[in-house]
Amino acid sequence: MPWHALTLQVDRASAEAFSDALLEAGAQSVALEPDGAVVAILSLEQDSHAVISAAALAAGISAPRFSSEQLDDQDWVRKTQAQFQPTLIGERLWIGPTWHSPPAGRVAVRIDPGLAFGTGTHPSTKLVLAWLETTIRGGERVLDYGCGSGILGIAAAKLGAAHVDGVDLDPQAVETAAANALANGIAMNAALPDALAAGHYDVVVSNILAQPLILLAPLLAARGRRLALSGILDEQAEEVARAYEPWFSMRLGEREERWVLLEGTRR
């Protein structure tokens, strides 16, 4: 079966939201390239312009220009596999797809590209993974709010967290996170927000976008003792931190490119 590989140039600030929107609009897989380009795979039967227009509308941006390349099945596999190389995080973590093998001594999290954001390659995801790698020491209760592929919760469990819950607004993401957790041999409860049971967590992580994080501040504050927030650009960090300061002592953590991590400790 032939496929279209679309390469789209999108502003870095919008790339994550646009990638999620492309998946919602029907793209078979989406990758963020190191140079900031977004690569989406569509079947030939899909209307590329319609998919891009719908995704751009959902992400709140203008429809970007794109180039298109036709692929056969084998070319799609090769292109997809070439886009997703393993990533080393800190001293302990290895993130990679199933067609790669982790080095000895690394905690392996296997995530294949699919219908939910989060393969470990985006700067905002790597920032939270690095924070978890230095924070999780064993026995913690962890909540990943906006779990996408489940990568953060899976990494927390692999690093020794005793209990992990993942929440997402997208039912497809919930299914994907649950399947990825099962494939990694860990127990993670993935659910829609309304299905999340009452409870408190040692660690709450959320890698979404600045405005949703601001709106979620009271909800996340009621859940966690420590926070790690990402999906935040440099210029948005102060506003997001201010939303959480009634409950947490907030500090600016690591940064990568224009993306930053905010850490919070309950007062």
Residue 141 confidence (pLDDT): 97
Task: Give me the domains of the chain, ranges plus CATH numbers.
Answer: 3-83 (3.30.70), 87-266 (3.40.50.150)
pTM: 0.74
Task: Provide the edge-to-edge strand list for the sheet that holds 66-71.
Answer: 29-32, 37-43, 3-9, 66-71
Distance in angstroms (rounded) separating the CA atoms of residues 265 and 249: 5
Q: What phi-psi label fits residue 48: left (phi over 0), alpha (psi between -120 and 50 degrees) or beta? A: alpha
DSSP state for residue 46 in the 8-state scheme: S
Among 100, 104, 208, 192, smallest CA distance to 152 is for 208
Tokens of 95: 């993130």
**Full DSSP string of 179-198:** HHHHHTT---EEE-GGGPPS
List per-residue pLDDT tens for the chain, 267 residues long: 567 888 998 887 788 788 878 877 888 777 777 667 888 888 888 899 999 999 888 888 899 989 988 876 555 555 555 566 788 999 999 998 888 888 999 999 998 765 445 555 678 889 999 999 999 999 999 999 999 889 999 999 999 999 999 999 888 889 989 999 999 999 999 999 999 988 899 999 999 888 999 999 999 999 999 999 998 988 999 999 999 999 999 999 998 878 899 999 999
Distance in angstroms (rounded) separating the CA atoms of residues 32 and 29: 11
On the 0-12 / 13-18 / 19+ scale of CB atoms within 10 A, 163 is: middle
